[in-house]
Amino acid sequence: MPAEETVLDVKNLQTVFFTNSGLFKAVDDVSFSVRRGETLAIVGESGCGKSVTALSVMRLVPDPPGRIVGGSVTLEGTDLLDLDDAAMRAIRGNRISMIFQEPMTSLNPVMRIGDQITEAVRLHRNTTRKEAWAKAVEMLRLVRIPEPERRATEYPHQLSGGMRQRAMIAMALACRPALLIADEPTTALDVTIQAQILALIVELQKELGTGLILITHDLGVVAQTAQRVIVMYAGKKVEEATVEALFENPRHPYTRGLMASMPAVIALGSKNDARLVEIPGMVPSLTNLPAGCAFAPRCGLAVDRCRAEYPPLQDWGDHHFAACWRAAETAAPL
């Protein structure tokens, strides 16, 4: 298969939630694609719509109160939004898998690790229990869990946090999915284990040729692992670019703010009192968005037009998109 083949194509996705305080658009007209073997990062603060985008792709938005009301999600030529629940279950865990941020909420506490992977394999593959168990042990070995034969017989509480996350990765990849979604996969882990897990996900993704959507708030992780990146704010895509272009020349003030708030290693000889710059204010409530650009109330560059009209997503060349009225003026290296 050609390396450039598109695995996932999301167009004009809209997901809303009906709440006591009104209807809010958690994902508002978001489009993107993922190619085979490519890593696409989706970044932004909590509440900006990253995880709901992932759940929408997986068709796991809780209904009620949530509902996908528009757009298309096409996986290898099949629009997932057109499928009935049974057809979607056949695809979920098979052609498309997800790794969640807290494995203890995703693993069954009263089932052995090997049985949980075996169940996933047998659901989608015509194999005997013995063959599926052998596959489970093979997957645990692939994710570098020591003594996989013994670990397969253990329960989640007997494994460390890092091992539980490795077991989740083993389960997600057991059926060799075309697309893997990793939602903050290292949040619950300590820093040294985080780096190992991320390196493992990227290595296995390349080995298997899987498309990867990495959802994170950590731009350091993005720089190390992704080829392209989408920045989301208040349910909308505000910038999209290759990782190199985004870091060299961020076009949206929100992206620049995220970068300025990144902890950096203080260079030898520089001032030791170097401070991080925080973005003032908070992500607005999605039930009460301001007119115009949602970032305008927090933006030092905002002018009257920003507060009155929402800017279109413009292509600034080389597939670098940004939704900002002042993108031309802000486009200078940090």
Residue-wise pLDDT tens digits, 101-146: 777 778 999 999 999 999 999 999 999 999 999 999 999 999 999 9
Question: Whole domain around residue 285: which residue ranges?
Answer: 236-263+274-330
pLDDT at 195 (0 to 100): 86
Are 305 and 245 contained in the same domain?
Answer: yes
pLDDT at 104 (0 to 100): 75
Overall average pLDDT of the 273-292 stretch: 81
Are 323 and 203 contained in the same domain?
Answer: no
Mean pLDDT for the chain overall: 89
Overall average pLDDT of the 298-307 stretch: 94
pLDDT at 266 (0 to 100): 35
Overall average pLDDT of the 6-27 stretch: 93
Q: Is the pLDDT of residue 181 over 90?
A: yes
Are 119 and 93 contained in the same domain?
Answer: yes
Is residue 269 one of the residues assigned to a domain? no
Is residue 151 one of the residues assigned to a domain? yes
The enclosing domain of 185 has a CATH number of 3.40.50.300
pLDDT-derived band at 287 (thresholds 50, 70, 90) equals confident
The residue among 252, 236, 330 whose CA lies nearest residue 290 is 236
- Count Cβ atoms below 10 Å from residue 135 Cβ, excluding itself: 21
Cβ within 8 Å of residue 55, ≥6 positions away? 61
Strand partners for 35: 6
Are 156 and 45 contained in the same domain?
Answer: yes
Is residue 41 one of the residues assigned to a domain? yes
Q: Is the pLDDT of residue 66 over 90?
A: yes
The residue among 36, 40, 53, 77 whose CA lies nearest residue 176 is 36
Q: Is the pLDDT of residue 265 over 80?
A: no
Is residue 1 one of the residues assigned to a domain? no
pLDDT at 330 (0 to 100): 66
Lowest mean pLDDT segment, chosen from 1-5, 227-231, 253-257 = 1-5
Rounded Cα distance between 38 and 31, Å, is 16
pLDDT-derived band at 77 (thresholds 50, 70, 90) equals very high
The residue among 67, 73, 58, 72 whose CA lies nearest residue 25 is 67
Are 124 and 241 contained in the same domain?
Answer: no
Are 278 and 141 contained in the same domain?
Answer: no
pLDDT at 331 (0 to 100): 57
Are 297 and 160 contained in the same domain?
Answer: no
Domains of the chain: total? 2
Are 96 and 206 contained in the same domain?
Answer: yes
Are 55 and 193 contained in the same domain?
Answer: yes
Q: Is the pLDDT of residue 215 over 90?
A: yes
Overall average pLDDT of the 176-188 stretch: 89
Are 45 and 162 contained in the same domain?
Answer: yes
Overall average pLDDT of the 297-326 stretch: 94
Are 247 and 211 contained in the same domain?
Answer: no
Radius of gyration of the chain (CA): 21
Q: Is the pLDDT of residue 315 over 50?
A: yes
Are 44 and 166 contained in the same domain?
Answer: yes
pLDDT at 111 (0 to 100): 96
